[in-house]
Amino acid sequence: IWLRKKRDTQAAYAFLKRLVKQFDEPKVVVTDKAPSITSAFKKLKEYGFYQGTEHRTIKYLNNLIEQDHRPVKRRNKFYRSLRTASPTIKG
């Protein structure tokens, strides 16, 4: 699915409509709180698309892949010097 340069309601509407036509209706759609996406989603619901779909705009549900790396990044802080890493590397 091609994206557009602008992130307005018309672009969000076209993207969400092509998405549902190509991949069927999902159970949940997680987006940021961009007003253009929210208004496009409501407009599509009025036209009969996304009837059984829940639209979530909660900040922490978006980008779960990045949140998955968080514990690794925390551990990585401690290994920045060779003194703290050497006992772990030796076993």
Structure confidence at residue 26 as a pLDDT band (50, 70, 90): very high
For residue 45, give its domain range.
9-90
Q: Identify the pLDDT of residue 5.
A: 79
Asked if residue 4 is part of any domain, the answer here is no
- Per-residue pLDDT at 22 exceeds 60: yes
Asked if residue 2 is part of any domain, the answer here is no
Asked if residue 3 is part of any domain, the answer here is no
For 64-86, the pLDDT digits (tens) are: 666 665 666 565 565 555 566 66
Asked if residue 41 is part of any domain, the answer here is yes
pTM assigned to the model: 0.62
DSSP state of 26: -
* Contact between residue 82 and residue 76 where contact means Cβ atoms under 8 Å apart: no
- Stretch 24-52: mean pLDDT, rounded? 92
Q: Identify the pLDDT of residue 65.
A: 62
Query: How many structural domains is the chain composed of?
Result: 1
